[in-house]
Amino acid sequence: GQNIDQPTEMTATEGAIVQINCTYQTSGFNGLFWYQQHAGEAPTFLSYNVLDGLEEKGRFSSFLSRSKGYSYLLLKELQMKDSASYLCAVTDSNYQLIWGAGTKLIIKP
Amino acid sequence: DGGITQSPKYLFRKEGQNVTLSCEQNLNHDAMYWYRQDPGQGLRLIYYSQIVNDFQKGDIAEGYSVSREKKESFPLTVTSAQKNPTAFYLCASSIPSLVTGELFFGEGSRLTVL
């Protein structure tokens, strides 16, 4: 079966750096997405990786290793507003999106 | 501003009733989707449509129905056949290919069965 694993919850301190991991086992691979979702709100797009390596976008970076079925989202200079759930999703060989359950990130002052 | 509008934001239903959730987009996207989100689970696809007058079942279509009569609109009906309908429902749209396209989501509709 297809599976995406992320930690359920993480805690970090304001101003620090946090890395959220995502491992996947899917039938084929056509890209990996990261979305941010604040409680009770809709997910918003953060990043897309289809080739191995690091994609940097401001305070957020996303890394992909296709051979390892692994990605991480790196958040730097954490702010209180970064408290949210972070969803990892993979597009499989049929271009269907498979979603992880999300990682709830709690930022403490 | 372009975007996706879902309504209502909160909805209460008695058992045995059908309810319809509205989803309208002005992004000129061909593809639209309905997802269900439950606590501790990933988003699950209910139905999707790549073009007007055509739609496909997702992973959990039983107990739901949709229509796509207009490009801008993709309403979802939760029927009485859906055994556990209490959930957060998200509508999304995209350009047809997900290879490089991102999903744009509405604000969601929270349905509670009394």
Two tokens at A87?
Answer: 């969803």
With a pLDDT cut of 70, the percent of chain B lying above it is 94
Segment B43-69 mean pLDDT: 95
Question: What is the pLDDT confidence band of residue B98, given thresholds at 50, 70 and 90?
Answer: low
A54 touches chain B (CB under 8 A): no
Q: Which residue has the higher pLDDT, A40 or B46?
A: B46
Hey, of B90, B98, B109, which one would you mutate to test binding to chain A, going by the most A CBs within 10 A of its CB? B98
B26 pLDDT higher than 60: yes
> Long-range contacts of range B26-32, CB-CB < 8 Å, 24 or more positions apart?
B26/B2, B26/B72, B27/B2, B27/B3, B27/B93, B27/B104, B28/B71, B29/B93, B29/B94, B29/B95, B29/B104, B30/B71, B30/B95, B30/B96, B31/B93, B31/B94, B31/B95, B31/B96, B32/B68, B32/B74, B32/B91, B32/B92, B32/B93
Residues of chain B contacting residue A101, judged by C-beta atoms under 8 Å apart: 40-42
Give chain B's mean pLDDT.
91
B93, amino acid identity: S
**Could you tell me whether strands B54-57 and A53-57 are parallel, antiparallel, or unpaired per DSSP bridges?**
unpaired
**pLDDT of A3 higher than 80:** yes
CA closest to B108 among chain A residues: A42
> At B97, is the pLDDT very low, low, confident or very high (cuts 50, 70, 90)?
low
pLDDT in tens, A4-51: 999 999 999 999 999 999 999 999 999 999 999 999 899 999 999 999
Stretch A39-68: mean pLDDT: 95
| A99 close to B (CB below 8 A) | yes
How far is the alpha carbon of A27 from chain B, nearest alpha carbon, in Å? 15
Check if A84 contacts B (Cβ < 8 Å). no
Of A4, A42, A45, the CB nearest to B42: A4
Query: In the prediction, which pLDDT does B16 show?
Result: 86
**Residue-level pLDDT at B100:** 57
According to the model, what pLDDT value does residue B74 have?
Answer: 98
Predicted pLDDT at B101: 63
φ/ψ (deg, to 5) at A82: -80, -5
